[in-house]
Chain A
Amino acid sequence: MVDLKIKIQKLELKNPVMTASGTFGYGEEYTDFFDISKLGGIIVKGITIKPREGNPYPRMAETASGMLNAVGLQNKGVDYFIKNIYPEIKNYDTNIIVNINGSTIEEYIQVAEKINELDKIPAIELNISCPNVKEGGMAFGTSYQSAKAVTEAVRKAYYKTLIVKLSPNVTDITEIAKSVEGAGADSISLINTLLGMAIDAETRKPVLSTITGGLSGPAVKPIALRMVWQVYNSVKIPVIGLGGIMNTSDAIEFIIAGASAIQVGTANFIDPQITVKIIDGIEEYLNKHKIDSIRELVGALNV
């Protein structure tokens, strides 16, 4: 019997497979398809202090081996989440992790303080990398000074596991990673979407209402893998890898590159049961390669 358990500092995962924010709703969207308590964790849809309507339609463009989205953090706000969604999902036997967002550092702090009060939420993912909002979001994650400032501020307001989600839209990802580690992050997740664009040649118009959007799917996987490997080699805190993971082999590659855990995102849209298939696939892989624990595989790249 192989051991799939992994720890992200104090956060204990029964297996390394989680779902990426914005691709798994609040979990309930998937309960018809499989038992979501099998997951290592669920990162719920990004939450802000006030409700947000998100961006106008169209918000999505299919691309070669991927998709662009420009949802823009549509959500009903943190108070609605606490009152109406949290009671429905808190008893699932998995880690429910809240992805938090803000236009200002103050807003991030306010959301973090409120989530800190929820017993059944063991961690937050600080989103400093959303490319689809006019204020905040990625702006915080593309300079090491602002990434540091927001991480430090939230660290003071939040006592449980703090994961910081990084943007790949930067020159040197290791610089940002080191600055959030120094500011007190317990873990780093990467990558959020890559800023991209789609044009309709017939009409000469942009496909998305916001012109640009975030690219995800297997098209971004090699970039994500490279960044996970770079960050793993430059920080001491655990890394959570995501970006275009479509199957078991993709997940294993991220772990070998240095990810202690992985998140599955866009693939959930195409196969809503993909995460359980990956959990089973990782177990098979470990058996086949006679590895007792998934922990032995983290960063086990042969170079």
Chain B
Amino acid sequence: MKKIQDFNIYANHRLNYETFILELKAPEKLPEIFPGQFAQLKINNHPQVFLRRPFSIHNVDYEKNTISFFIKIIGEGTRSLQKLNKKNSINVIYPLGNSFNLPKQNNVLLVGGGTGVAPLLLLSKSLKNNNISPVILIGGRSRNDILQIKEFEKYCKVLITTEDGTLGEKGLVTQHSVFQTDKFPFKKIYTCGPELMMKAIGKFAKKNNIECEVSLENTMACGFGACLCCVVETSKGNKCVCTEGPVFNIKYLKW
């Protein structure tokens, strides 16, 4: 069941010059939130920001009763979220969308590019709780863009690529040696990141007959299936990313 509630700001801390973690405390006991789901955050008193902003749920702490978001400053909406402090509250619609499906087998690779790692932390946690030890490959432009490593290391083995070679292997995520082996060891891939990256991973998965789920972030107005703006073309017609996604199995996408 979807909820609309005012949350208090529990913590808001910068990870680097453009990325921050916004942790929000729920007014009542959190419902169960599944990895891949998202929330619509209302931006208050900002003339240039009319609609809510959708973000993947990065982490959930049921003991503290908080949910957190991994956010990059892109425009006015995200900039105003970065300025929120403990005195503020924020209106949240959640949990929205479907979720990642747990794999049938153990060998699982997660691939996150840039802020695309956002939904993968909750997924890593869930996999670990289901006795699966995932490997995550994180890609970014430079070492300063590779974030939340310590968090991911709690649940995953972490591989890294940077475009400038300042951390991990040099190059794009899709050029990482894990994709270059003769026998790719993983049975399922979960990915989120820039569309070109996800498409390249999807192509690799299709070619090698590997299950692959992607989390999409099409522009949306409502987030709960009313406006029909965020559609993606699938083999079963146009589907709303907000209600039938954001997670899609690539076999249904026209990639």
Stretch at the interface among A23-31, A108-116, A139-147, A151-159: A23-31
Interface of B is mostly: loop
Give Cα A269 to B226, complex, Å: 8
B221 A269 Cβ-Cβ under 8 A: yes
Q: Name the interface residues of A19-71: CB closer than 8 Å to any CB of B.
A: 22-25, 29-30, 32-33, 45, 53-54, 56-67, 69, 71
Interface residue? B20 (CB, 8 A): no
A53 B237 Cβ-Cβ under 8 A: yes
A272 B227 Cβ-Cβ under 8 A: no
B55 CB to nearest A CB, Å: 16
A60 B50 Cβ-Cβ under 8 A: no
Q: Name the interface residues of B203-255: CB closer than 8 Å to any CB of A.
A: 218-233, 237-238
Interface residue? B3 (CB, 8 A): yes
Interface residue? B170 (CB, 8 A): no
Give Cα A67 to B250, complex, Å: 30
B226 A23 Cβ-Cβ under 8 A: yes
Selected contact of A65 from candidates B47, B93, B220, CB within 8 Å = B47
Give Cα A69 to B220, complex, Å: 10
Interface residue? B4 (CB, 8 A): yes
What are the residues of chain A within 8 A of B226 when measuring CB–CB?
Answer: 23-25, 29-30, 268-269
B50 A71 Cβ-Cβ under 8 A: no
B226 CB to nearest A CB, Å: 4
B227 A23 Cβ-Cβ under 8 A: yes
Give Cα A58 to B230, complex, Å: 7
Interface residue? A74 (CB, 8 A): yes
B77 CB to nearest A CB, Å: 9
Give Cα A56 to B42, complex, Å: 27
Interface residue? A217 (CB, 8 A): yes
What are the residues of chain B within 8 A of A29 when measuring CB–CB?
Answer: 222, 224-226
Selected contact of A71 from candidates B91, B219, B223, B229, CB within 8 Å = B229
B54 CB to nearest A CB, Å: 11
A74 B221 Cβ-Cβ under 8 A: no
A33 B2 Cβ-Cβ under 8 A: yes
What are the residues of chain A within 8 A of B225 when measuring CB–CB?
Answer: 25, 29
In the complex where A69-B229, A71-B227 touch, is A64 in contact with B4 (Cβ < 8 A)? no
B40 CB to nearest A CB, Å: 9
Number of interface residues of B (CB under 8 A): 31
Scoring A residues 241 to 278 as 1 if CB is less than 8 Å from chain B, else 0, what string do you get?
A: 00000000000000000000000001011111100000
What are the residues of chain A within 8 A of B73 when measuring CB–CB?
Answer: none
Interface residue? B1 (CB, 8 A): yes
What are the residues of chain A within 8 A of B222 when measuring CB–CB?
Answer: 29, 268-269, 272
A64 B48 Cβ-Cβ under 8 A: yes
Selected contact of B230 from candidates A24, A53, A60, A67, CB within 8 Å = A60
A32 B1 Cβ-Cβ under 8 A: yes
The residue of chain B having its C-beta at the shortest distance from the C-beta of A32 within the complex is B2
What are the residues of chain A within 8 A of B232 when measuring CB–CB?
Answer: 57
Interface residue? B51 (CB, 8 A): yes
Give Cα A207 to B232, complex, Å: 16
B233 A57 Cβ-Cβ under 8 A: yes
The residue of chain B having its C-beta at the shortest distance from the C-beta of A45 within the complex is B228
Give Cα A59 to B220, complex, Å: 9
Scoring A residues 67 to 79 as 1 if CB is less than 8 Å from chain B, else 0, what string do you get?
A: 1010100100000
A65 B50 Cβ-Cβ under 8 A: yes
B238 A53 Cβ-Cβ under 8 A: yes
Q: Name the interface residues of B90-124: CB closer than 8 Å to any CB of A.
A: 91, 93
Interface residue? B52 (CB, 8 A): yes
B221 A272 Cβ-Cβ under 8 A: no
What are the residues of chain B within 8 A of A268 when measuring CB–CB?
Answer: 222, 226
What are the residues of chain B within 8 A of A69 when measuring CB–CB?
Answer: 221, 227, 229
Scoring A residues 272 to 295 as 1 if CB is less than 8 Å from chain B, else 0, what string do you get?
A: 110000000000000000000000
In the complex where A269-B222, A272-B93 touch, is A63 in contact with B50 (Cβ < 8 A)? yes
B residues within 8 Å of A by Cβ? 1-4, 42, 47-52, 91, 93, 218-233, 237-238
Query: 3 tightest CB-CB pairs across the interface, nearest first?
Result: A60-B229, A269-B222, A32-B2
A residues within 8 Å of B by Cβ? 22-25, 29-30, 32-33, 45, 53-54, 56-67, 69, 71, 74, 217, 266, 268-273
A-B CB contact pairs (8 Å), 28 listed: A23-B226, A24-B226, A25-B225, A29-B224, A29-B225, A32-B2, A32-B3, A57-B218, A57-B232, A57-B233, A58-B229, A59-B228, A60-B219, A60-B221, A64-B47, A67-B51, A67-B221, A69-B221, A71-B227, A74-B231, A74-B238, A217-B50, A268-B226, A269-B226, A270-B42, A270-B50, A270-B51, A272-B93
Known: A58-B219, A58-B229. 17 other contacts (CB 8 A): A23-B226, A53-B237, A57-B231, A60-B220, A60-B229, A62-B49, A62-B51, A63-B50, A65-B47, A69-B221, A74-B228, A74-B231, A74-B238, A217-B50, A269-B51, A270-B52, A272-B222
